[in-house]
Amino acid sequence: MVYGLTFVVAVTVDWMIPRFMPGDPVAGMVARANVSQPAAVEAMRQYYTGLFGFDQPLWRQYLNFWTALLHGDFGISIWVFPTPVSDVIMGAVPYTLGLMIPSVLLSWVVGNRLGAYAARRRLLDNTVLPVGYVLTAMPYMWLAVLLAWGLGVIAGVFPIAGGYSFSMQPNWSAEFLLDLLHHWALPFASLFLVALGGWAIGMRNMIIYELESDYSTYLAALGAPQRLIRRYAFRNAVLPQITGLALQLGVLVAGALVTEIVFSYPGLGSLILKAIQNQDFFLLQGTFMFIVLGVLAANFIIDIVYVVVDPRTRAGMAGAQA
């Protein structure tokens, strides 16, 4: 399967980059630590070399990497020192997922509806289309900054940083959940809006294409009501949009990451920023693996959904087995 292979490639890339890059990562890390005593430098060099397993043959290093990975062991974070990377990541993942899943799904659904309505309707088309183009062309972080500035700083309606108020501790009280929702609103809105434009435009184009096809003309000739024709067109046009969703996942993840950074939202994006600023390569690599896994899983789910939605693929599979 493509996904398994992709995973192997991703892991290999993740393993290769620190090892085959020009320059010595160990020397780099030792230099960054700013230790001047020769004895200390030597000790650190030993420690890091052992950590990466550089003293072993290459194939052994590769195998070790896989074993560690399959045990869920991504190493130890340098930024928050004794905590394992997997724990740090697990603390951030709920925020990212809580932000991404609703915004991606909602913008996909709403965008498709909007696009379908706009197609072949002058007035709506002339408003939805330009707005859609402006929205898709926007860098995620810019819309986020604009929203934070407009609604957060000037209007003062929404908080512009963090996942919850600094004065609170995470718990399950209604008060805290409300606060959480309050902080969630702006990042959600910006992710939702940027993605919305693209889906609306894509759907509009697909619907126009479908409405021009023979079956639509035939239905119209039979005297079917316009609503019915549009409903058939929509059902056909949704299929490429599902594939589009799979293709866009990488972009959507990237958008979520930068949006989180704008709002200092405690998800994976802020984690990556911290990892880069603190030269915490284990954390960075762990996050990378996690994102790849997440995207692969989502792709897999979309594949299944596609089979469920489109009867033709099911028929094709049954035929292949027979």
Partner 1 sequence: MTALQEAVPRDAAAPVSGRREALHFALRNGKLLAGAGVVLVLLLLGLIGPLTIDAPPNEYVGPPMQAPSSEYWFGTTTFGQDVFAQFVYGLRTTFAAGLLGGVVASLIGMVVGFLAGFRGGLLDEILNMLTNIVLVIPTLAVLLIINAYLGIRSVVAQAIFIGLTSWPWAARAIRAQTFSLRGRDFVDLARLSGSNTWKIITREIAPNMSSYLLLTFILLFGNSILIASSLDFIGLGPTEGVSLGLMLQNASQWSAMQLGMWWWFIPPGAGITAIVGALYVANVGLDEVFNPKLRET
Q: How far apart are CA 28 and CA 248, in angstroms?
A: 36
In the complex with partner 1, the residue whose CB is nearer, 2 or 317, is 2
Nearer residue to partner 1 within complex by CB, 76 or 237: 237
Is 110 among the residues that bind partner 1 (CB under 8 A)?
Answer: no
Site for partner 1 in 16-75 (CB under 8 A): 17-18, 21-22, 25
Residue 90 found at the interface with partner 1 (CB under 8 A): no
Among 78, 124, 273, 307, binds partner 1 (CB under 8 A): 273
Closer residue to partner 1, CB minimum distance, 25 or 84: 25
Tokens representing 151? 């609604």
The two structure tokens encoding residue 10: 């991703």
**Residue 266 near partner 1 by CB under 8 A:** no
Of the residues 50, 94, 139, 170, which one makes contact with partner 1 according to CB under 8 A: 139
CB of 321 to partner 1, least distance (A): 21
- Neighbour-count burial of 124, counting CB atoms closer than 10 A to its CB (0-12 exposed, 13-18 middle, 19+ buried): middle
Whether residue 286 contacts residue 86, with contact meaning beta carbons closer than 8 Å, is answered with yes
Q: Within 13 A of 309's CA, how many CA atoms are on the CB side?
A: 16
Q: Which helix (H) or strand (E) holds 64?
A: helix 58-70
Region binding partner 1 by CB under 8 A among candidate stretches 63-71, 85-93, 196-204, 306-314 = 196-204
Assess 187 for contact with partner 1 (CB under 8 A).
no
Distance CA 115, CA 107 (A): 11
Alpha-carbon distances of 304 from 14, 169, 300, 301, 311, rounded to whole Å: 28, 39, 6, 5, 12
Least distance from partner 1 to the Cβ atom of residue 223, Å: 24
Among 27, 153, 168, 178, binds partner 1 (CB under 8 A): 153
For partner 1, give the closer residue by CB, 76 or 144. Answer: 144
Q: How far is the CB of 209 from partner 1 (least distance, A)?
A: 5
- From the list 83-91, 97-105, 130-138, 228-236, the region that binds partner 1 by CB under 8 A is 130-138
Piece in contact with partner 1 (CB under 8 A), picked from 46-54, 136-144, 173-181, 217-225: 136-144
Does residue 100 bind partner 1 (CB under 8 A)? no
Residues 159, 152: contact at Cβ < 8 Å?
A: yes
| Interface with partner 1, residue 317, by CB under 8 A | no
**Beta-carbon neighbour count of residue 218 at 10 Å?**
11
Write the CA distances from 215 to 51, 118, 121, integer angstroms.
64, 21, 20
Residues sharing a CB contact under 8 Å with residue 221, sequence separation 6 or more, in sequence order: none
Q: Is residue 101 involved in binding partner 1 (CB under 8 A)?
A: no
Q: Is 136 exposed, middle or buried (0-12, 13-18, 19+ CB in 10 A)?
A: middle
The interface with partner 1 within residues 201-260 (CB under 8 A) comprises 201-203, 205-206, 208-209, 240-241, 243-244, 247-251, 253-255, 257-258
Q: Is 49 helix (H, G, I), strand (E, B) or coil?
A: helix
